[in-house]
Structure 1
């Protein structure tokens, strides 16, 4: 197994070199027909900003494509080097209570994975600071990291305890019962996230600018949306990037604007962004998203139940995992979940891009202001040093929104059709 680990490390290094070569030599220039238009970064970015945007995007993308298989490598090494089995042996000696064993195992597993992931995460933070995207201090970044660790670990303890109880109780149908419990948990989490989880990281409050609020209220009224769901969040202490999003469901649904967005965009541009988020609300994208994840969870758990059984039957003795219900199989379970999630991400991202484009269409039909829409995307690009036309692999695996090129081209074509009608 040590030889296998060495080979895996060698393959990882080769993969990293290959991915770096692909990202740094890929042609990201825009098509000739859009040169000189509002979609051309040369028309709204300075030469230095273009250079920084290209550099930052390439390093950020490389970090992403290194981080995902690095996570797989951590789980694999925990299994192959006997750490997963040794940790199980220790918790079994520490206590006879099943629940406490699960809690202890998850805590130490989370701590180990977090410790090994920390250097790569810090590189990402440093990269963002170096290029002026992040304004967050190291202490604030560490505080968010600790909060994230505690929240994730508590949730993970609950999930793992229930999961391994099901594995012990229902050897063949555990995945079906796990999925049945996933459904109410996902819906409940969507309810509590805006009011319990998100405020742990940032301060949320009603929109301060009352004149802008009046304009948003009028727009919301036109779209038949309750205005009390508009919130402002203090993000300027952490980032220079701009953003807005929809979160929560039912009475806890919120449309959230970063304060950086309010500071950098004109009112008409903010209204377009708000109209985009209203489009998500009107078209019930959050509910469709929940339904989609419930369906994916069903097929995902079924597939993983087959994979993990086969993997333990073939390699279980080598890594000290005798059966699926052994808590030592948890790193293998997480490895398979991560592999499947990554494999499905192009499909999930494609659905998300479709919904985001639909929201763009809704927003432009509601506001009838393509100039404000175009300038808002240009400013979003400038603030976040986003790549206008990323490489195909980056788009497939990373982009939950259409590219800036695609969004501005659509608006250019919309603007052109309006001129023809006039």
Structure 2
């Protein structure tokens, strides 16, 4: 269940975009959108195209194997009766029923972490290194994993205590109130995460005064977005991907750009990225995402509330699980939810992809940098397949593909720029 929570929180994180360098302009009496688009798309060729496709397509299998490994971990915790032992330990420590689920969650989180650690090391470290997407050594990477576990050991017990309080008070309808509890935790995470969580992984410093900061402030002011807090964070120590975001709620709202964005891109590309990120804020994507994720979670908890009692009735004695209100049931709930969210992957991807597409359009209208946007979209081809088929994009892409984004940018250029010219991109990487 902790893995499901992290998936949901991860789904709320909305990434930025990428970049170019030296261009040659060719005037064209009649601007052809497809020809201009192909000039960008076809600039990715050979070994780089093959590496990008192999990395991203390999991720399709990771979705399946990740779900199976999560299910296996929960099954092992049940079958070994470790779940019952964790519950028994919590009951020995305290007689307070409201506290027992929180205590249970501590060894459960640690057990899940250890059981899935080999898979995590492969997918998040060695595989990233293999494709040249990792800047850290193993020690630095593992240190961040330890920080993540400490955070989970704080947040997950609180969440579990809240959910089991609901289960005890409303054993028939707990899935409705449980959805509300998870939504509240997501909101609190958005409120406090930028201030207390993200600085644990990166150092944030005020963006220096200058033309780029002035441009960002002006873009934000156009839509009454608070721009008092604009930060640069040192994500280059982890990888070279570019990123930016507008995060927080109310007093914690801040605009953040990673150092890769400023160091690897030209000003027009930074403007394109920031127009996109400001779009998420103006269009209310945070609230829309929480609402739709809440509905998706409600369906998942409803299914869980229907199937979990049958599993308890059939296997509860063997696993040492007494009832739905017994903390030892947590691996059963997690197992069902993992299956559900695996099946719901296309829906979750589409939710995020629609928001991203809307933000793309907003960014083009705001920054008015179609070629900067197209260059950024090509930069994402370092780790995203540039031109998938339509069904492939629908099922596996949580952002529009690079080809889709380039075509959107060139169509915007044709519709909004007087006498547009076609640009042939050179090497997008700065020297």
**TM-score, shorter chain, exceeding 0.5:** yes
CA shift for structure 1 position 128:
0.9
CA–CA separation in structure 2 for the residues paired with 1:34 and 1:307 = 52
Can you give the 5+ residue segments of structure 2 that lack an aligned partner in the other structure?
A: 1-31, 421-431
CA shift for structure 1 position 393:
7.0
Could you say which residue in structure 1 is the equivalent of 2:424?
Answer: none
CA–CA separation in structure 2 for the residues paired with 1:40 and 1:134 = 29
Could you say which residue in structure 2 is the equivalent of 1:302?
Answer: 302
**Are 2:115 and 1:116 equivalent residues in the alignment?**
yes
CA–CA separation in structure 2 for the residues paired with 1:122 and 1:134 = 12
Asked whether the equivalents of residues 33 and 411 of structure 2 are also in contact (C-alpha less than 8 Å), the reply is: no
Asked whether the equivalents of residues 36 and 43 of structure 1 are also in contact (C-alpha less than 8 Å), the reply is: no
Report the CA distance shift for 1:392/1:112 in structure 2 as closer, same or farther (over 3 A).
farther
Asked whether the equivalents of residues 134 and 239 of structure 2 are also in contact (C-alpha less than 8 Å), the reply is: yes
Report the CA distance shift for 1:216/1:106 in structure 2 as closer, same or farther (over 3 A).
same
The superposition leaves residues 63-122 of structure 1 with CA deviations (integer Å, 9 ceiling, x where unpaired) of 333112211121123223433234334444455443554344212111111111111111
TM-score, normalised via structure 1 length? 0.83
Asked whether the equivalents of residues 132 and 240 of structure 1 are also in contact (C-alpha less than 8 Å), the reply is: no
Please list, as runs of the form range in 1=range in 2, the aligned pairs for 1:206-355 lying within 5 A after superposition. Answer: 206-208=206-208, 210-355=210-355
Runs of 4+ in 1 over 4 A off after TM superposition: 33-37, 39-42, 391-394, 418-422
Asked whether the equivalents of residues 34 and 40 of structure 1 are also in contact (C-alpha less than 8 Å), the reply is: no
Asked whether the equivalents of residues 309 and 324 of structure 1 are also in contact (C-alpha less than 8 Å), the reply is: yes
CA shift for structure 1 position 265:
0.8
Greater relative CO, 1 or 2 (CA 8 Å, sep 6+): 2
TM-score, normalised via structure 2 length? 0.81
Could you say which residue in structure 1 is the equivalent of 2:52?
Answer: 53
CA shift for structure 1 position 192:
0.5
Please list, as runs of the form range in 1=range in 2, the aligned pairs for 1:94-173 lying within 5 A after superposition. Answer: 95-98=94-97, 101-124=100-123, 125-173=125-173
Range with greater deviation from structure 2 (37-46 or 244-253): 37-46
RMSD of the alignment, in Å? 2.7
The superposition leaves residues 228-276 of structure 1 with CA deviations (integer Å, 9 ceiling, x where unpaired) of 2432211011101112223222221233211101111100110011011
CA–CA separation in structure 2 for the residues paired with 1:399 and 1:62 = 14
CA–CA separation in structure 2 for the residues paired with 1:416 and 1:330 = 55
Question: Size of the alignment, in residue pairs?
Answer: 388
CA shift for structure 1 position 165:
3.4
CA shift for structure 1 position 404:
1.0
Could you say which residue in structure 2 is the equivalent of 1:372?
Answer: 372
Asked whether the equivalents of residues 42 and 50 of structure 1 are also in contact (C-alpha less than 8 Å), the reply is: no
- 3-state DSSP of counterpart to 1:98: coil
CA shift for structure 1 position 420:
8.3
